[in-house]
Amino acid sequence: MLKQIEGSQAVAQAVALCRPEVICAYPISPQTHIVEGLGEMVKSGALARCEFINVESEFAAMSVAIGAAAAGARAYTATASQGLLYMAEAVFNASGLGLPIVMTVANRAIGAPINIWNDHTDAMSQRDCGWIQLFAENNQEALDLHIQAFRLGEELSLPVMVCMDGFILTHAYERVDLPTQEQVDAWLPPFEPRQVLDPAEPVSIGAMVGPEAFMEVRYLAHAKQMRALELIPGWADEFRRAFGRDSGGLLHSYRTEDADTIVVALGSVLGTIKDTIDEMRRDGVKIGVLGITCFRPWPLAAVRAALAHATRVVVIEKSLAVGLGGIVTSNVRTSYGGSADAVHAVIAGLGGRSITRASLARVFAAALAGTLEPLSFLDLDGALVERALAREREQRRSGPIAEGMLRDLGVVAARI
Amino acid sequence: MSFQPVKFYQTGTFTVGNRLLAAEERSVQANMRRTNSINSGHRACQGCGEALGARYAIDAAMEATGKRLIAANATGCLEVFSTPYPETSWQVPWIHSLFGNTAAVATGIAAAMRVKGRSDIRVVAQGGDGGTTDIGFGCLSGMFERNDDVLYLCYDNGAYMNTGVQRSSATPAAARTATTMAVGEPPGNVFGQGKDLPAIAMAHGIPYVATATVAELRDLEAKVRRAMEFRGARYLHIFVPCPLGWGHAAHDTIRIARLAKETGVFPVFEAERGEVVSVSKIRRQLPVEEYLRPQKRFAHLFGKAPRADLIARIQEIADRNIRRYGLVDG
């Protein structure tokens, strides 16, 4: 059924169609509308056989989900930013225990300075936590990825993080095709856990493991993620047959067939990049874009194949490995057969800074001209940074950096 | 004066013999139906109060629920000594997740049981005092406040024993730990309120809060059974001496626990919906020295320069407990 709804509502509806049994909710922007939507469905009875629990922190949210999943219930929660960090210990624990919890991460920056707007720092901080991480390009894909996530996670006994750009997707009203309950029921079988807390067959879950077996346990976690790489493409095909559209999979390539420059990105910025590329194509530039849907496990072979003919790669990424550069770029370099110098990291859109077609076109032109640095920051206000550095050189007590910059800027509203 | 059920004591030992009790009040210890939910072969220290307390509490819970029980366990001694992979002592479905989230994990299990129509299966959460009063406090308070159907068992030995006897917010005044050394002024732990978890639990207005010691196992079992008669959040705070951390002889665990109660250091009572409904009276009140002296963690109070002043302050704490809970008929 076609609907014009908010991204968060689309996700809430999709999760409800997956018949979750335990939902834990703790508010944090920009995720909040999702659990609000689900809470109303549970309280009104529209979503039956489901417990909606208002917890006291994100740490508790993930912990309640752990208990519920270990007891055989399909568990869901959503978070963002500081909330994801606050639950980080439990996030690792959920994957270590092999519990197929599904969690939406409405991607948002991490403070300090506190910032509620979109970038990918939150999800990237947890990239090695053992969860599968899927990134949605638009609200339709966000909706579809949740339906796929429950099945994928439960098949592999692994938790799945569905990442969608905060505000840009969560708060955007778009047309989405909402599947029917019958379609979802046919796609998603009931949760059959590998092990479960059951008085009829008592098991101990979460025992202490010493050096004699810890390596092997961790290896098996890696092997499960590698298995996901094998399963995901086939399931994307199956999803297309069942629901009639392309969603999920490992990657999406756009106009890369004959491209010698390939842009790599994750999430909603792919739309802007495609528009920019269309314009450059009209001018005869051989440029295309590779969208990464599945970031963990990292689809090494698929990315390598997709980049095989590219002579230069530009990674547009919404997170910064402070002291290194690009996180996605580092991953891309492992998958690129050519020189590492041909892979450029462009840090963009941190803390909600707009990524415009004009700026992207400028960066891509620089890449084509061979003048793009290995690491650059899109639309960085160099003068502002220089003033802050000068202030630090001049006086020891130069004060808080963020506040000093805001003072330099004066009225900032016009700049956003 | 509050009503107190008659308890039978054997002369001298203060313990209760099963043969003196009515059949329904007898310990499951002497019962063929005892489940031995924490089986033998675990790696607790000799004289471990926590192992003893957990064994009686979980067996009593198993009996009360007809073996329909799931346990969530905080990180700590109990978790480590009972499940060195791939061995386990647990005969109940058991999960260990983290140090600070046990109450929340139990909430999740209870929610799963409810949604699956299996509310006949009951849930206990358990941890030491560090996992309860410090790092797990947020999740515990949340579980209380929502009145989730979980019985939380705190085994209080007054410090982080698993990591090598560091101070917790349940460490008593003047006690020496690895992080409250017996030097400076005052030597040992600070004098303060600490976190009075039973009182904090009561302030949440939950259906049932009780305290117990491993010196009176019958009383402990009865409180677990009583707790299982309620739905909603319940809290049982069990006083469990630790020979290693407290520096007393392994064979003195029961005696030390009894002295804690008989001196007023640890008040034993029950409360329902925030109101105290019964207290275990002190039979023969003793000065706190009797409790402190056998423990090396208080040795600095009795050395070459005895600290009568600090002992007097500890006596004041015990006297306050006695007044507050009416532990001595007077």
- In a domain, residue B8? The reply is no
> Residue B84 — pLDDT band, cuts 50, 70, 90?
confident
Residue B79 has pLDDT above 90, yes or no: yes
User: Order of strands, edge to edge, in the sheet holding B151-156?
Assistant: A204-205, B94-96, B69-73, B122-128, B151-156, B234-239, B208-213, B269-272, B275-279
Cβ within 8 Å, pair A22-B115 = yes
The beta-carbon neighbor of A90 closest among B68, B96, B98 is B98
- Say what the pLDDT of residue A143 is: 98
Nearest chain A residue to B110, by CA: A68
Say if strands B269-272 and B208-213 run parallel, antiparallel, or are unpaired. Answer: antiparallel
The beta-carbon neighbor of A67 closest among B86, B106, B138 is B106
Pair (A142, A97) in one structural domain:
yes
Residue pair B106/B125 in contact (Cβ under 8 Å)? The answer is yes
Averaged over B126-148, what is the pLDDT? 98
The beta-carbon neighbor of B68 closest among A69, A97, A199 is A199
Residue pair A56/B138 in contact (Cβ under 8 Å)? The answer is yes
Residues in chain A, how many?
Answer: 416
Residue B216, φ and ψ in degrees, nearest 5 = -125, 80
A-side interface with B, Cβ within 8 Å? 21-22, 24, 49-51, 53-57, 59-60, 62-73, 75, 89-90, 93, 97, 197-199, 201-210, 213
Cβ within 8 Å, pair A60-B146 = no
> Residue B193 — pLDDT band, cuts 50, 70, 90?
confident
- In a domain, residue B5? The reply is no
Residue A344, φ and ψ in degrees, nearest 5 = -100, 135
Pair (A235, A289) in one structural domain:
no
Pair (A234, A256) in one structural domain:
no
Selection from B87, B318, B250, B19 nearest residue A207 by Cα:
B87
- In a domain, residue A373? The reply is yes
* ipTM associated with this complex: 0.96
- In a domain, residue A223? The reply is yes
The two three-digit tokens of residue A48, written as one number: 């039956």
Pair (A308, A394) in one structural domain:
no
Give the mutation candidate from B109, B113, B126, B204 for the A interface (greatest A CB count, under 10 A): B109
Residue B156, φ and ψ in degrees, nearest 5 = -95, 110
Pair (A232, A319) in one structural domain:
no
- Say what the pLDDT of residue A415 is: 55
CA neighbours closer than 13 Å in the CB half-sphere of residue B74: 31
Neighbouring CB atoms inside 10 A of A369's CB total 8
- Say what the pLDDT of residue B27 is: 62
- In a domain, residue B14? The reply is no
Cβ within 8 Å, pair B142-A55 = yes
Can you give the pTM of this predicted structure? 0.95
- In a domain, residue B192? The reply is yes
Least Cα separation, residue A209 to chain B (angstroms)? 5
Residue pair B61/B124 in contact (Cβ under 8 Å)? The answer is yes
The two three-digit tokens of residue A181, written as one number: 């309950």
List chain A residues with CB under 8 Å of B73. 206
User: Order of strands, edge to edge, in the sheet holding A132-135?
Assistant: A51-54, A22-25, A75-79, A102-107, A160-165, A132-135, A294-296
- Say what the pLDDT of residue B31 is: 66
The domain that contains A344 carries what CATH number?
A: 3.40.50.920
List chain B residues with CB under 8 Å of A204. 83, 88, 90, 93-96
- In a domain, residue B132? The reply is yes
- In a domain, residue A225? The reply is yes
- Say what the pLDDT of residue A403 is: 87
The two three-digit tokens of residue A82, written as one number: 């500081």
Lowest mean pLDDT among A362-366, B15-19, B189-193: B15-19
The domain that contains A147 carries what CATH number?
A: 3.40.50.970
List chain A residues with CB under 8 Å of B80. 208
Please tell me the distance from the alpha carbon of residue B94 to that of residue B70, in angstroms, as a whole number: 6
- Say what the pLDDT of residue B9 is: 46
Residue A370 domain boundaries:
251-377
Residue B26 has pLDDT above 80, yes or no: no
- Say what the pLDDT of residue A276 is: 98
Pair (A222, A302) in one structural domain:
no
Pair (A183, A300) in one structural domain:
no
- In a domain, residue A382? The reply is no
Residue B152 domain boundaries:
27-325
- Say what the pLDDT of residue B17 is: 61
Nearest chain A residue to B89, by CA: A204
Cβ within 8 Å, pair A206-B95 = yes
Pair (A401, A351) in one structural domain:
no
- Say what the pLDDT of residue B14 is: 53
Please tell me the distance from the alpha carbon of residue A40 to that of residue B97, in angstroms, as a whole number: 30
Cβ within 8 Å, pair B142-A213 = no
Pair (A117, A95) in one structural domain:
yes
Nearest chain B residue to A217, by CA: B85
Number of domains in chain A: 3
Number of domains in chain B: 1
Q: What percent of chain B has pLDDT over 90?
A: 84
* pLDDT one-digit tens code per residue, A387-406: 999 999 999 999 899 888 98
- In a domain, residue B251? The reply is yes
- In a domain, residue B178? The reply is yes
Pair (A239, A257) in one structural domain:
no
Averaged over B180-193, what is the pLDDT? 94
Pair (A126, A271) in one structural domain:
no
- In a domain, residue B193? The reply is yes
- Say what the pLDDT of residue B16 is: 56
Q: What percent of chain B has pLDDT over 70?
A: 91
Q: Give CA torsion, residues A402, A408, A411, A414, to 10 deg.
A: -80
Pair (A216, A72) in one structural domain:
yes
- In a domain, residue A332? The reply is yes
- In a domain, residue A264? The reply is yes
List chain A residues with CB under 8 Å of B79. 208
Please tell me the distance from the alpha carbon of residue A166 to that of residue A170, in angstroms, as a whole number: 5
The domain that contains B242 carries what CATH number?
A: 3.40.50.970
Give the mutation candidate from B77, B98, B150 for the A interface (greatest A CB count, under 10 A): B98
Selection from A310, A315, A204, A19 nearest residue B93 by Cα:
A204
The two three-digit tokens of residue A180, written as one number: 């029917």
Residue B11 has pLDDT above 50, yes or no: no
Q: Give per-10-residue mean pLDDT for chain A (416 aa).
A: 97 98 97 98 98 98 98 98 98 98 98 96 98 98 98 97 98 97 97 96 94 94 97 96 95 96 98 98 97 98 97 98 97 94 97 98 98 97 96 93 88 58
